[in-house]
């Protein structure tokens, strides 16, 4: 079973780009049974799906509410996938999780990383 | 966007009793529904997918039912580790716009 670990800065300035990586254990990133996704959780908005990437890297799906600001990409040579969220505001402060997906359900999660947007 | 509404917000149950949690979708999601458990400071853990299929390692006293717009998570013989927050999530919308409910907290009565 894959293990996932988020990494990146815990503090981002308003209007800048939030960049996070998720490292996946083993060879799971190239298996055909998984998508790879990002979800965030904040007190005000609960759990919010940000977007997902097919294991092949050929397809990405984004939350329509965030689509204009989000990019998810994979680097299979490093067993990583990344999240970039541009033009952040305080409303983007949250715990960010990476997770694997079978169809739509998220079956394995990272521990989460707290990101605060503040100057 | 499909809105997921969970009820009640808080459920007070005595250990050993049954907890019944509800999740309603604003439009039909078929059986494309998952349930998660989240404990303080931890990531959510998948309990149920496809509305009624238990994830690996989930005990038989945890069950899910429903289809369309009405779903139920039932936990029999509540144990100490069951007191936490539960979320439902739909994954029926296409293109994907997957959404979660706001959660139900199960607390000790």
DSSP assignment letter at B83: -
Percent of chain A residues topping a pLDDT of 90: 74
CA distances from B91 to A76, A85, A86, B34, B85 (A): 26, 23, 26, 8, 20
Question: What confidence score (pLDDT) does residue B88 get?
Answer: 98
DSSP assignment letter at A78: G
Exposed (0-12), middle (13-18) or buried (19+): which is B41, by Cβ within 10 Å? exposed
Q: Is the pLDDT of residue A30 over 80?
A: no
B32 closest CB neighbour out of A52, A104, A112: A104
In chain B, which residues have their Cβ closer than 8 Å to the Cβ of A103? 32, 49, 91
In chain B, which residues have their Cβ closer than 8 Å to the Cβ of A112? 43
Q: Which residues pair with B4 in a beta bridge?
A: B25
Whether A107 and B87 lie within 8 Å, measured CB to CB: no
A105 closest CB neighbour out of B42, B49, B101: B49
CB proximity A61 to B under 8 Å: yes
From CA A7, how far away is CA A10, in angstroms rounded? 9
Residue A100: how many other CB atoms lie within 10 Å: 27
Question: What confidence score (pLDDT) does residue B96 get?
Answer: 87
DSSP assignment letter at B55: P
State pLDDT tens for residues B21-74.
Answer: 999 999 999 999 999 999 999 999 999 999 999 999 999 999 999 999 999 999
Q: Is the pLDDT of residue A69 over 80?
A: yes
CB proximity A16 to B under 8 Å: no
Find which of A106, A107, A111 to mutate to test the B interface (most B CBs within 10 Å of its CB). Answer: A106
Question: What is the least distance, in Å, from the CA of A37 to any CA of chain B?
Answer: 11
Backbone Cα Rg of chain A: 13
Query: pLDDT class for A31, splitting at 50, 70, 90?
Result: confident
Structure tokens at A63: 């939350």
Structure tokens at B37: 């458990």
What average pLDDT does range A77-101 have in this prediction?
96
């Amino acid at each position: 079973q894959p293990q996932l670990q988020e990494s990146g800065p815990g503090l981002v300035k308003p209007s800048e780009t939030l960049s996070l990586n998720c490292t996946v254990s083993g060879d799971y990133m190239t298996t055909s049974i998984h998508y790879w996704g990002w979800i965030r959780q904040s007190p005000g908005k609960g759990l919010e799906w940000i977007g997902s990437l097919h294991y092949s890297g050929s397809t990405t799906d984004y939350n329509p509410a965030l689509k204009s600001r989000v990019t998810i990409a994979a680097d299979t040579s490093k067993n990583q996938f990344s999240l970039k969220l541009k033009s952040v505001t305080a409303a983007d402060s949250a715990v960010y999780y990476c997770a694997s997906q079978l169809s739509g359900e998220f079956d394995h999660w990272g521990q989460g990383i707290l990101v605060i947007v503040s100057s | 966007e499909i809105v997921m509404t969970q009820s009640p917000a808080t459920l007070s149950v005595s250990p050993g009793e049954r907890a019944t949690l509800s999740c309603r979708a604003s439009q039909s999601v078929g059986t494309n529904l998952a349930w998660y458990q989240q404990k303080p400071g931890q990531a959510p853990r998948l309990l149920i997918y496809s509305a009624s299929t238990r994830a690996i390692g989930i005990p038989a006293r945890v069950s899910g039912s429903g289809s369309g717009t009405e779903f139920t998570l039932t936990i029999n013989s509540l144990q100490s580790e069951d007191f936490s927050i539960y979320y439902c999530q739909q994954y029926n919308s296409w293109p994907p716009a997957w959404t979660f409910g706001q959660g139900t907290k199960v607390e000790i009565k």
